[in-house]
Amino acid sequence: MVEVVTDDRPLEAAAQRLAAMLTSVEGDPVRLAIPGGSAAAVAPRALQIAIAYGFDAGRLALTWVDERCVPVASADSNRGAVRFDPAPGLELPLFVDGEAPADAVVRVEGAFETLFGGSLDVSLLGMGPDGHVASLFVGGPELAGTVAHIADSPKPPADRITLTRRTLATARQTLVFATGEGKREAIERLVAGDPSLPATGLPGLVLVTDLTLGPDL
């Protein structure tokens, strides 16, 4: 079951919704995973809104749903593309410059257990026109464990570190931000519950889009 929010200012609508999700978490830290791409900008705006409602940014423990294995200064880096002000209390990068992907997996697995207690509270996802979220692609392998190295991503760059679907499913609230005609088919499949999409069935799924969907959806 997906709750669909349609808005002609989707980024602002998504940020408002994400802020509400963050402020609803009672535990400390508030464990959030964020994507790269067009959805990344939702997160810093959501933090500003949450702070205006009294949220303490120091409670935020931030990680990424996926990262490309490139230097943080590269235009392809998900982490490099986003700035928080003020900074979250804690950030767990999925990849650091010069690291071998296999070492990144071991480091993140350990740190996710120690710092995040092995689960998320909220995840923010973007979705590609092909229906991928994080670096989980339609028809891709079933990934075991917390985090995985993808060496052959169909969308460049090929080398990526991704949280597995199992890890995304630990979040009790999931916000998918997907806009534009190019994503209509994927969005409609998600709302219809297409089991081949990695986001289908994730807990507390809310989709924020700018598209008006058909009456059956």
Ligand X SMILES: O=C1O[C@H](COP(=O)(O)O)[C@@H](O)[C@H](O)[C@H]1O
Q: Are 95 and 69 in contact (CB under 8 A)?
A: yes
> What CA–CA distance (Å, rounded) separates 191 from 205?
10
Asked if 70 contacts 77 with a C-beta cutoff of 8 angstroms, the reply is yes
CB of 45 to ligand X, least distance (A): 15
Q: What is the DSSP string of 130-198?
A: T--BTTB-TTPPPPPSSEEEES--SSSSS-EEEE-HHHHTT-SEEEEE--SGGGHHHHHHHHHT-TTST
Q: How far is the CB of 131 from ligand X (least distance, A)?
A: 10
Q: Closer CB to ligand X, residue 11 or residue 19? A: 11
Name which of 30 and 127 has its Cβ closer to ligand X.
Answer: 127
CB of 95 to ligand X, least distance (A): 11
* Least gap, CB of 156 to ligand X (angstroms): 9
Angle at 120 between CA 114 and CA 121, to 5 degrees: 130
Assess whether the previous peptide bond of 157 is cis (omega < 30° from 0): yes
Question: Residue 114: CB partners within 8 Å, gap ≥ 6?
Answer: none
CB of residue 78 to ligand X, shortest distance in Å:
5
Closest residue to ligand X, judged by C-beta, is: 37
Token reading at 80 = 């490099």
Nearer to ligand X, 65 or 205 (CB): 65
What secondary structure letter does DSSP report for 202? -
Question: In terms of CB distance, is 59 or 162 closer to ligand X?
Answer: 162
Residue 35 or 88: the one with the smaller Cβ distance to ligand X is: 35
Q: Which residues are bridge partners to 90 per DSSP?
A: 61
Read off φ and ψ for residue 209, nearest 5 degrees. Answer: -145, 165
Q: Which residues bind ligand X (CB under 6 A)?
A: 35-39, 65-66, 78, 126, 128, 134-135, 155
Rounded to a whole number of angstroms, the minimum distance from the CB of residue 142 to ligand X is: 19
Shortest Å distance, C-beta 130 to ligand X: 9
Between 42 and 55, name the residue whose CB sits nearer to ligand X: 42
- For ligand X, give the closer residue by CB, 41 or 51: 41
